Each structure stands twice: as structure tokens, then as C-alpha cells.
Amino acid sequence: MTISRKAWQYSRSRLTQLSEQPASGVPVDVRVCGLHKRYGDVTAVDGVDLEVAKGEFFTMLGPSGSGKTTTLRMIAGFERPDAGTIELGGKDVSSLPPFDRDVNTVFQDYALFPHMTVQENVEYGLRVKKLPRAERRNRAKEVLRVVRLEEYGGRKPGQLSGGQRQRVALARAIVNTPRALLLDEPLGALDLKLRQELQIELKQVQQKLGMTFIYVTHDQEEALTMSDRIAVFNEGKIVQVGKPAEVYEHPASEFIAGFIGVSNVIERDGRRITVRPEKIRVLEDGALPDEGTRVEEGTVRDVQYVGPVTRYHVSLDQGGDLQILTQNLEETSTEVLALEGRRVRLAWRPEQESVIGEREGVPA
Amino acid sequence: MTSVAGIEPPPHRSVGRRLSAWLYRWPGVRLGALLAAPFSWIVVLYLGSLAVLLVSAFWQLDTFTGEVVHQPTLKNFQTIVEVPVYRTIALRTIAMAVAVTVACALLAFPIAYTMARLASKQMRRLLLVAILIPLWASYLVKVYSWRVILGEEGVLNWLLEPFGATGPGYSITGTWLVFTYLWLPYMILPLYAGLERIPSSLLEASSDLGARSGRTFFRVVLPLVFPALVVGSIFTFSLTLGDYITPEVVSSTQFIGNVIYDNVGVANNLPLAAAYAFVPISVMVVYLLLARRAGAFENL
């Protein structure tokens, strides 16, 4: 077991190392080095480094006040960093104003010009670049088709629904074909169903255009659904970078484990480990666990029937609590609720757990 | 009957409570009671006296007896159109109102912008108080203090002397200066409110889309703050059109207000004064119609 653990840890560290950088061979579109920003006594961004490859969907995920939006605003040029550099396509743009940077932003409140029509909003950036009228028309028409709003060019933003406004904001930004598109919680103001629809739509647009997206969100599900890579922010620092599956299944700290999903941390042999609730199996009475699996015994303290799944809270005999999530394939609610107070044996494979470091920064 | 036993008896129905309940059932009466006093004030006293004024414009003064003849005639209007001095004074007053409004807008915009966008909370409060304090002082005090400032031996000439210049003195320029000083707060306050309502993300979006400050100002800020600008200009424009004290105190030039005042007080020709009052009123009506056409009241 110890051997396999070492082998796994080795492979895991290699895996993380690889995905912390964009895949080799692909040019880097956005590079941020040693970014710092303070507001009075508050340190908003405390040494952020990141590289985003061309065509990548890169998400900055973190709780409010973790520095993700400030980092995005510094890339856009709305805030000036106290220290550090920002490169776009290899060119240092740290001291350039927003209007001289080849990036465009989709704002959280959409920031559509209320006195202009949808068409005029979309053409704004092209008009600034003094493109001929016919070309402006064509390109605006084209992006409005991409966001499925070709019929709405003559309307004012006030006559559109939230989801439509969001798509106009997207069209207004992508029509300029920027080197990178910066999205600041673009779906934050929409209800859940619309948000899920637009997540898919945004991802499709991004893949179709092959455009670099830097996406800020505090919604972990959104980040996992859409991203090529995720950078998890906490207290002004990036605490982990990786592909969605890596960040989710192998969180580097208790904070990340808790922020992306349920923290599920127990202490064994002086080490703190975490395992995702859906990876834990409940063993049948008398069933023998597979070779090398971890087995823990405990008592079911609480059962929550949530329709498609059931959530169990189990107190372990060796100390600690774990949450377990099982799909309700065959079970009825009566059956699963009857498990409350019963003794159970839990099992999971060692590669499904993660050893985590420090305890600090646990979300409340 | 037993089922009712558990329910509390209805509360004691006092007269006030019964009245409230009655008014609740008759919302029209409630609205009437609320609006009776202010509504009759506006209709009877305000619009009523205005109507009397306008009607009297069609009467005539018997120059021999000094009595007002209650016979409808257009003679007063003929006088103000045909006598060149009335035309000159009307045009001068309108030009003054335009000049004051433009000066107020140009001065107010940077101040309002600073207050709404750049200043810290403390600085904003300080500026707001600084703008409001002059409004607490009496209008006459301010005008007479300007008389002192503009005088031959006044502060302005004393300040300009080292540079070899002299102030405008008691003149049209001096009047323009004083009007601009007097009405500036009435322009700053609506502009400040209008600018504060523009979300900063709109300015960021404009910049993000490649626009420099100039374009952002003309394409985004100005169109959005335009209604506020119109509100402010209605104040500065109409206040200048109707004022007769300031020109009296700091210049010897005649404006519409002076003509009306002199006809009411000195010449005792009330009908002519009333007819001349038509000029600023119709100018304001035209002004408001133009503003409405420009879309200034769409978001009111």
C-alpha cells in the first residue's frame, strides 16, 4: 500500500506540474508576473503569477475578496498594479491604459450603453477603430447571429431580458476579436436555469472562435463545467492551478477541498486527508473490501434524501466525520432513511484521497 | 355559538378607527382630503393670478386718466413688437440668459464630475456644503456684496491692478459675472445627481472598447447626463430671464425684468407690463418644447 501511495503521489505531482503551465508548444497569450495590489491597509492581490495559453478557457475561482476580480481588472487596465507585470502576446502592457490594450471585458452588470441600440452598442468598438460603415454593419450582424440576437439590433438594452443583455455584452466584446476576452462573473445576475444554459452557450462560442477567455467566478460548478484550467484564489494568492478534475479530486489544501465541494477532512497517522463524498462506498454486510482499499467503520448520524442522491453523515470510530453521496439507483426514500443510526463500513481506494497540508484559510 | 367563543372580541371601535376604516373603503375621498389644500393653492392662487396677469395684458391704460380700460385690445403687444427698444431689451435678456447658462454649465461640469466620480466621501461632503452655503445667504446680500467687489475701488480692481488690468465694473459683463455666480449651484446640483447615476462600469466599458476620454465624454457621459443638464439650464435660464434686481444693482442696463418692474411701479402701466411678461413666458415654453424634443424628459 505504501508503495502504491508513493507511486501515486509521484504521478500526481507530475500531473499538477504539467497543468500549472499551459501545454507546451501553444503560445502564451496572457502572462502575469508578481502582481500586487493594496487598497489602504487591505492587500487585494498578493503576488499572483499566471500564464494563459492561446485559445484557453482559464477560470479564476475564489470567494469574494480573494483578489480574482482585482486581478482581472488589472489585466484589463482599470486598476494599476503596485508591483508586477502584465504581458499580452509577449508585450508588456502594465503601464498602458485600457483603450490601448488588446483585451475586451464582459462586465458583471453588462455595462451596455442605455442610450444606444443593440447594434450601436456592438459597433462601438469598431467605430472607435474607424472601420468603414459597411464593414461595421457586417461584423455586428455576424456576432449578433453568433449570440442568436440578429433580430434585436434595433432595440435598446432596456427592452431586453437579462439573458439577452448578457449576450449583447458578449457580442460587443467579441466583435473586436481581442487577444483575450475577460469575463467578470458574467452570469452572476441570472437565475440558475438561464445560467446553466448560458454556460453551455458561452463555452460553445469560445470553442467556435478559438478565443482566449479569462473567466472570473465564485461558482465552483460553473468553473468545473466550463474551464480548461482553474486557478483557485484565496486571500489575494493563487492557491492551486490545474485542470478541473485535478482541482476537484486532488485539492491541495483544506480550503480548496471545502471551497470546491465538501471538505470531508479526517486525520489519520498524523496526516490530514480528504476524499470526495461520491468516491466513498458503503460496504454490504459481510462483503470483503478489495485489496488495498481503505476501510473505516462508523455510525450513520444523519441521512438526507435529496431525490436523485442521498447524503449520509457518518461518525467514524477512529475519529472524524465523513459525508457520503450515493445515487438512488434502486433505493426508495424509506429504505435509505432507515439507515440512520446504523453501523456501516466505508471503503475507498487510496488514490481517491488527497493528503492536504495546512489548516489555515478554511472557509466558515 | 360555541365556535365563536374562542375568538377575541373586536377591538374597541373609536371614532378615529372608524374614520380610518371608512377612508379605507373610499380611496377617492382619501386622495381628495390629501390634495385639497395644495391643489387649491396651485389652481386658485398660483394659476389664478397668472391668468389675471395674462388677461390684463389685453387691457389698456388710459394715459390721460391713468385708469385701466377693461376693453380687449392687442395694442400692448403691438407696442412691444414695434418699439425697437423693447425688442432690443428682449434679445439682450435672452442673450444674457444663454451666456449665463453656458458659463454655468462649463463651470459646473468639472465641479459636479469631481464630486460624483473623483472625490473621496469626505471631500464630496465638503464640496456639497460649500455649494449649498451661499444658498442660505440672502440674495440681496450677495448682490450688494458684488456691487462692492465690482466697484471702482473694489476688490476685483485691486486684485487686477498689479497685472495692469481692470475689472468689468458696473456693466453687462459685470451683470453676467454676478448672474453666473448666483445661479451656479442650481446647475451643479442636478449635474452632480445626473453624473452620480451613471454607473462607472459604463465609462470603463467605453475605455475598454478603445475609446479615449474625449470620445467617452461625448458619446457616453454627455448623452446620459443631458437630461440633468437640461434641468440645470432651466433653472439658470429662467432665473436670469426674470431677474431685475441684479442688473439694477451692478449695472445701468435694462433687462426684461426692469421694463416690467418700471411699468408696474413707475409708469403704472400694468397692461403693458403684463404684455411684456409674455416674452419670457413664451421663451420658456419654446425652450421646454425644444428640450422635450431633444429627449431630455424621457427618463423623468
pLDDT of residue B295: 78
Determine contact, residues A231/A60, Cβ cutoff 8 Å: yes
Residues A146 and A281 in one domain: no
Q: Which residues partner with A37 through β-bridges?
A: A45
Residues A137 and A228 in one domain: yes
d(CA B184, CA B171): 20
Q: What are phi and psi of B53, to 5 degrees?
A: -60, -45
Please answer yes or no on whether B207 and A98 come within 8 Å at the CB atom. yes
Strand order in the sheet with A57-61: A103-106, A180-184, A212-217, A57-61, A229-234, A237-242
Please answer yes or no on whether A109 and B220 come within 8 Å at the CB atom. no
Which residue of B lies nearest to A176 if distances are taken between CA atoms? Answer: B209
What parts of chain B have a pLDDT lower than 70?
A: 1-11, 299-300
Burial call B247-278: b when 16+ CB within 10 Å, e when fewer: bbbbbebbbbbbbbbebeeeeebbbbbbbbbe
Residues A111 and A170 in one domain: yes
Domain boundary residue, one of A255, A276, A303: A255
Q: What are phi and psi of B234, to 5 degrees?
A: -60, -40
Considering just the CA atoms, what is the radius of gyration of chain B in Å? Answer: 27
pLDDT of residue A156: 94
Please answer yes or no on whether A124 and B209 come within 8 Å at the CB atom. yes
Q: CB-based contact (8 Å) between B223 and chain A?
A: yes
Answer whether residue A321 is part of any domain. Answer: yes
pLDDT of residue A290: 81
Give the residue from B197, B209, B225 with the most A CB atoms within 10 Å of its CB, the best one to mutate.
B209
| pLDDT per residue as tens digits for the range A15-74 | 444 456 666 677 889 999 999 999 999 999 999 999 999 999 999 999 999 999 999 999
Q: How close A192 gets to chain B, by Cα (Å)?
A: 24
pLDDT of residue B300: 53
Which residue of B lies nearest to A103 if distances are taken between CA atoms? Answer: B208
Which residue of B lies nearest to A129 if distances are taken between CA atoms? Answer: B210
Domain boundary residue, one of A237, A255, A273: A255
Residues A297 and A242 in one domain: no
CATH number at residue A342: 2.40.50.100
With H, G, I as helix, E, B as strand and everything else as coil, classify residue A58. strand
Number of domains chain A is built from = 2
Residues A302 and A184 in one domain: no
Between A107, A115, A128, which is nearest B201 by CB? A107
Determine contact, residues A249/A348, Cβ cutoff 8 Å: no
Residues A212 and A284 in one domain: no
Give the residue from B208, B219, B226 with the most A CB atoms within 10 Å of its CB, the best one to mutate.
B208
pLDDT of residue B154: 84
Determine contact, residues B101/B236, Cβ cutoff 8 Å: yes
> Which residues of chain B lie closer than 8 angstroms to A108, CB-CB?
201
Count each helix (H run) and each strand (E run) in chain B, helices first: 16, 2
Tell me the whole-structure pTM to 2 decimals.
0.80
Please answer yes or no on whether B201 and A99 come within 8 Å at the CB atom. no
Q: Where does residue B67 fall: left (phi above 0), alpha (psi -120 to 50 degrees), or beta otherwise?
A: beta
Residues A98 and A226 in one domain: yes
d(CA B259, CA B241): 12
Q: How close A107 gets to chain B, by Cα (Å)?
A: 7
Chain A residues whose C-beta is within 8 A of a chain B C-beta are 76-78, 97-99, 103-105, 107-109, 111-115, 124-125, 128-129, 172, 176
d(CA B213, CA B200): 13
| pLDDT per residue as tens digits for the range A181-224 | 999 999 988 888 889 989 999 999 999 999 999 999 999 999 99
Q: How close A115 gets to chain B, by Cα (Å)?
A: 7
Residues A182 and A69 in one domain: yes
Q: Where are the beta strands (DSSP E) in chain B?
A: 60-62, 67-69
Residues A81 and A172 in one domain: yes
> Which residues of chain B lie closer than 8 angstroms to A176, CB-CB?
209-210
Residues A288 and A247 in one domain: no
Domain boundary residue, one of A223, A255, A287: A255
Residues A302 and A214 in one domain: no
CA A300 to chain centre: 32
Please answer yes or no on whether A111 and B212 come within 8 Å at the CB atom. no
Cell of A364: 466558515
Q: CB-based contact (8 Å) between B205 and chain A?
A: yes
Q: Where are the beta strands (DSSP E) in A158-242?
A: 180-184, 212-217, 229-234, 237-242
> Which residues of chain A lie closer than 8 angstroms to B204, CB-CB?
76, 78, 98, 105, 107, 111
Answer whether residue A363 is part of any domain. Answer: no
Identify the H or E element spanning A325: strand A321-327
Please answer yes or no on whether B205 and A176 come within 8 Å at the CB atom. no
Q: Judge whether residue A9 has pLDDT over 60.
A: no
Domain of residue A28 covers 15-255
Between B202, B210, B219, which is nearest A111 by CB? B202
Between A99, A113, A129, which is nearest B207 by CB? A99
> Which residues of chain A lie closer than 8 angstroms to B198, CB-CB?
none
Q: How close B202 gets to chain A, by Cα (Å)?
A: 5
Q: Where are the domains of chain B?
A: 15-58, 75-293
Answer whether residue A6 is part of any domain. Answer: no
| pLDDT per residue as tens digits for the range A75-123 | 999 999 999 999 999 899 999 999 999 999 999 999 999 999 999 999 9
| pLDDT per residue as tens digits for the range A241-285 | 999 999 998 898 889 988 888 878 888 888 888 999 999 988 877
Answer whether residue A56 is part of any domain. Answer: yes
Please answer yes or no on whether B211 and A99 come within 8 Å at the CB atom. yes
> Which residues of chain B lie closer than 8 angstroms to A131, CB-CB?
none
Q: How far apart, in Å, are the Cα atoms of B191 and each of A10, A77, B34, B229, B293?
A: 65, 28, 33, 6, 20
Answer whether residue A10 is part of any domain. Answer: no
Give the residue from A100, A124, A182 with the most B CB atoms within 10 Å of its CB, the best one to mutate.
A124
Answer whether residue A52 is part of any domain. Answer: yes
CATH number at residue A203: 3.40.50.300
> Which residues of chain A lie closer than 8 angstroms to B227, CB-CB?
none
Residues A178 and A34 in one domain: yes
Please answer yes or no on whether A128 and B201 come within 8 Å at the CB atom. no
Banded pLDDT at A229 (limits 50, 70, 90): very high
Classify domain B75-293 at the CATH topology level. MetI-like fold (1.10.3720)
Please answer yes or no on whether B215 and A128 come within 8 Å at the CB atom. yes
Q: How close A297 gets to chain B, by Cα (Å)?
A: 55
* CA quadruple B230, B232, B233, B237: dihedral sign: positive
pLDDT of residue A11: 44
Answer whether residue A5 is part of any domain. Answer: no
Determine contact, residues B184/B134, Cβ cutoff 8 Å: no
Cell of A143: 456576432
Q: What are phi and psi of A216, to 5 degrees?
A: -105, 130
Give the residue from A79, A107, A156, A175 with the most B CB atoms within 10 Å of its CB, the best one to mutate.
A107
